[in-house]
Amino acid sequence: MTFEQDADDVATILDNLKIAKADFLGFSNGGHTGIEIAIRHPEFVNKMILASVFYKRSGASPKFWEGTDHVTLNDMPQVLRDAYLAVNNNTESLVAY
């Protein structure tokens, strides 16, 4: 899963629901998805608020990323792992952002 794919999924949903323009509030990872929506599908954006997000990896301290290079599904809390598997039965390593 990527933020680009998330943005494409949101655009598909809006298109299927016949929503021409939307207001977005993106916090943290949702902010990253918001950035991708604005870049990839600006025709859907009416207003956008982004919070607690940076637009490139170097925007965070290197310490922020420690331990994320080899994250797997087994490292996720059980409730999140169950939710992920409910929609995608892929037990491969998760992509680190």
- pLDDT at position 8 over 90: yes
Mind listing the pLDDT tens digit for each residue in 23-47? 999 999 999 999 999 999 999 999 9
pTM: 0.67
Reported as a pLDDT band with limits 50, 70 and 90, residue 96 is very low
Average confidence score pLDDT of the chain: 87
* Spatial separation of the C-alpha atoms in residues 89 and 61, rounded to whole Å: 33
* Domain boundaries, position 28: 1-54
Q: Please state the domain count of the chain.
A: 2
Q: 95 and 60, same structural domain?
A: yes
Q: 6 and 44, same structural domain?
A: yes
Q: 62 and 49, same structural domain?
A: no
3-state helix, strand, coil in the chain (%, to 5): 50, 15, 35
Asked if residue 76 lies in contact with residue 85, where contact means CB atoms within 8 angstroms, the answer is: no
Helices vs strands, H then E, count in the chain: 4, 2
The larger pLDDT score, comparing residue 47 to residue 74, is at 47
Q: 74 and 50, same structural domain?
A: no
